[in-house]
Amino acid sequence: MSPSDDKEITRLQRQRRAQLWIIGFLVLLVLIVLIITPLSQVLTQFAFKTAQLSTSNPSAGSVLDQANVAAQKADLEVAQTQNVLNLMNAMLVVLGVAAGALGLFGFSTTSGFRDLEKEWRERLSSVGRLQSETEAKSRAIEQLQQEMEEKSKSIGDLETLVNNVARLQESVKERFDRSNTALAYLILGSQLWQRREYNEAMASYEKARHLLANNAQMNYVLGRIYQSIGRYNEAITSFSDALKARSDYPEAHKELGLTYRLLGALQEQETQRQHYFGLAQEHLQRAIELKNDYLEALGSLGGLHRRLGEYEKALDCYRQAYALDRTSAYGPGNIASLAFYLGQMEEARTYFERTARLTQERIETGQWEPYWDYYDLATAQLALATLADKPAELATAMKTYQKAIDNTPRVSVFEGVLSNLFLLQKAQHKLEGLPQAVEMIQEAQDRLRASMHIDA
């Protein structure tokens, strides 16, 4: 041990001896109090007994004396009691002073108490810190558990997202593969159709439709094909399926309306005819509602009104169509035919001349589906041969009709052209060469229908 440690031990021993002396002094004082109190009581009792024995035969005077003695005894006991109480109070004061001195001495001169207090306070502080640390760690553990639960939930959500993405990718890949395969069948069908291998082409188209049975565009394309070869019931089914997949499809509504119109024109019973014409009008008007600048739908609706004998309504549709596209001959060509049928010769001549000019411009610029322009030009040339007194135009009209026939891809085109020519045949005024034109087109229609040999 170092000298400083020895000094510290010696100092602590001295302090402990001093503490023992003070404690011994306090114990001695307590013992004195305990001894003096009962001794004073014994002495009092002895004196009282002595007085009693000296007066064994009491008389009146002796009784009075005894009473005086008893009173003296009582006074003595009271005095003694008071003395004891005073002594005890003094002792308590002394004890308090001694205890205070001991405490003061212990705390002022002894580092033991201070060390004990310090140690107690340090331990209490340690307990407080330990409790705080425990609470903090408990909160940290709860927070960590909460974070782990959130991360676990996030991981679960991420796994769900990954699985959904994987399923979506697989679905997209499957749809992409099916779309590519269906497109390949469509291309093959078009090539077979151009080679006039119609049955093989239809088989290819059906395979494409099977791959995309709920695809609006696929059903629309197949409906157009069925319509072009005169299989109107299959066309109606295809267009209806297209509208089930997409109800706001204006082109499908227009073609479905046109198909109902074509099918109605073939009916011999008037009730059936009116039924199909009613369906046609419903879908054609819906197409125009969805696409108010729909030129083709306006033209088809005008054709429907013309077949129903509603000529003013038909003229209104054709005028709207012409207002939408001044470069198209569809509007003025039909206006010219209706004007001729109604006997309005000047207006008919004006619109036939306008139709001839517009169609020649469109043919020269290579417009899409030129056979319609050839048919409109041929009809205008045929009418002008009579109305403008140009007989040379008649031969030109027949050549133009032949060009139109050579470029006609579908049977349904012939039906539309013949419907217009039949209207001209019903007019009061006759057009030279019109019967020959009708016969030419009907023969071409029969040849095309026979050449297809499409199985029903």
Question: How many domains are there within the chain?
Answer: 3
DSSP letter for each residue of 154-165: HHHHHHHHHHHH
Do 363 and 456 belong together in one domain? Answer: yes
Residue of 18 and 209 predicted with greater confidence: 209
Mean pLDDT of 101-125: 54
332 part of a folded domain: no
196 part of a folded domain: no
With 0-12 / 13-18 / 19 or more C-beta atoms within 10 angstroms meaning exposed / middle / buried, residue 229 is buried
pLDDT at 118: 64
Residue 140 has pLDDT above 70, yes or no: yes
Task: Kindly report, residue by residue over 121-139, the tens digit of the pLDDT.
Answer: 666 676 567 677 777 877 8
Highest mean pLDDT among 60-69, 96-105, 173-182, 262-271: 262-271
User: Which residue do the tokens 């629309």 mark?
Assistant: 220
DSSP letter for each residue of 411-444: HHHHHHHHHHHHHHHTSSS--TTHHHHHHHHHHH
Do 245 and 307 belong together in one domain? Answer: yes
Do 365 and 447 belong together in one domain? Answer: yes
Distance in angstroms (rounded) separating the CA atoms of residues 231 and 259? 9
Task: Kindly report, residue by residue over 293-306, the tens digit of the pLDDT.
Answer: 999 999 999 999 99
Residue 220 has pLDDT above 50, yes or no: yes
pLDDT band at 5 (very low <50, low <70, confident <90, very high): low
Task: Kindly report, residue by residue over 338-394, the tens digit of the pLDDT.
Answer: 999 999 999 999 999 999 999 999 888 876 667 899 999 999 999 999 998 888 889
Residue 107 has pLDDT above 50, yes or no: no
DSSP letter for each residue of 192-247: HHHTT-HHHHHHHHHHHHHHTTT-HHHHHHHHHHHHHTT-HHHHHHHHHHHHHH-T
Task: Kindly report, residue by residue over 298-329, the tens digit of the pLDDT.
Answer: 999 999 999 999 999 999 999 999 999 998 88
116 part of a folded domain: no
Q: Quick one: DSSP state of residue 390? A: -
Task: Kindly report, residue by residue over 385-433, the tens digit of the pLDDT.
Answer: 999 888 888 999 999 999 999 989 888 889 889 999 999 999 999 999 9
Domain-terminating residue out of 109, 144, 174: 109
161 part of a folded domain: no
pLDDT at 110: 47
Do 33 and 95 belong together in one domain? Answer: yes
Specify whether the CB–CB gap between 231 and 239 falls below 8 A.
no
Provide long-range contacts, Cβ within 8 A and 24+ apart, for 397-405: 397/433, 397/437, 398/433, 398/436, 398/437, 398/440, 400/374, 401/374, 401/375, 401/437, 401/440, 401/441, 402/440, 403/374, 403/378, 404/371, 404/374, 404/375, 404/378, 405/440, 405/441, 405/444
pLDDT at 297: 95
pLDDT band at 177 (very low <50, low <70, confident <90, very high): confident
Alpha helices in 247-269 (DSSP H): 250-265
Question: How many helices and strands (H and E) does the chain possess?
Answer: 16, 0
- Average pLDDT value for the chain: 79
Do 42 and 86 belong together in one domain? Answer: yes
Residue 188 has pLDDT above 70, yes or no: yes
Do 377 and 408 belong together in one domain? Answer: yes
Q: What is the CATH number of the domain that holds 284?
A: 1.25.40.10
274 part of a folded domain: yes
Specify whether the CB–CB gap between 437 and 382 falls below 8 A.
yes
Residue 269: φ, ψ to 5°? -80, 135
Q: Quick one: DSSP state of residue 185? A: H
Do 318 and 352 belong together in one domain? Answer: no
Q: Tell me the C-alpha to C-alpha distance, in Å, between residue 301 and each of 129, 273, 316, 319.
A: 92, 16, 10, 12
Do 382 and 314 belong together in one domain? Answer: no
DSSP letter for each residue of 119-140: HHHHHHHHHHHHHHHHHHHHHH
Residue of 17 and 426 predicted with greater confidence: 426
Domain-terminating residue out of 325, 358, 387: 325
pLDDT band at 454 (very low <50, low <70, confident <90, very high): low
pLDDT at 97: 54
123 part of a folded domain: no
Cα angle at 228 between 225 and 234, to 5 degrees? 60
Distance in angstroms (rounded) separating the CA atoms of residues 268 and 429? 28
pLDDT band at 36 (very low <50, low <70, confident <90, very high): low
pLDDT at 286: 97
Full residue range of the structural domain in which residue 435 is found: 347-456
Mean pLDDT of 114-124: 59
143 part of a folded domain: no
pLDDT at 448: 85
194 part of a folded domain: no
Do 316 and 356 belong together in one domain? Answer: no
Do 44 and 99 belong together in one domain? Answer: yes
Domain-terminating residue out of 294, 325, 356: 325
Do 373 and 279 belong together in one domain? Answer: no
Do 369 and 319 belong together in one domain? Answer: no
